[in-house]
Amino acid sequence: MAAAASSAAPGWLLGLPMSSSVGNQPDSTHLAMDRTWLSHERTLMAWVRTATSMISFGFTIYKFFEFEAGKGSPVTRGKLSPRGFALIMITIGLMALLVATISHRAETRSIATALGKKYSVATAVAALVSLLGIVTLLATLFRS
């Protein structure tokens, strides 16, 4: 049993000399490309968070004033109605997400090819949030 456990442990842990061959280790260029890929993923996820905040804030404002109007209290109307404000916020959130996703795809295309990556998780999340935003936009647009 001890032989089985020791064969699974790395050599440096067992006190054996470390191998000088680094054939299966990634080189510094590959590691730099990995870091760049992850940096782009983090940046797109930050844009997803921003867009989600804008979409949800716009929809919340719309629903809050719809609720207030249902209670019979007067909703003060200015130059911009709560529904108009909600539509603007949701549209800005969707447009920001679209621009960020297009930028992400353009910047990571060559890195993805070199690293052999087929897809980006951040792009998939951006697509899901976009669908949520479109549904929210349509719900706000077609409800009076």
Residue 45 · residue 128 · CB < 8 Å:
no
Residues 58-98: pLDDT tens digits? 999 888 888 877 766 666 667 888 888 899 999 999 999 99
Distances (CA, A) of 65 to 11, 23, 140: 67, 64, 12
- The total of other beta-carbon atoms located within 10 Å of residue 36's CB is 14
Calpha distance 28→88 (Å, rounded):
46
Tens-digit pLDDT profile for residues 33-53: 889 889 999 999 999 999 999
What are the sequence ranges of the domains in the chain? 32-72+82-142
> In this predicted model, what pLDDT tens digit does every residue of 17-33 receive, in sequence order?
555 555 577 788 888 88
CA distance 85 to 77: 11
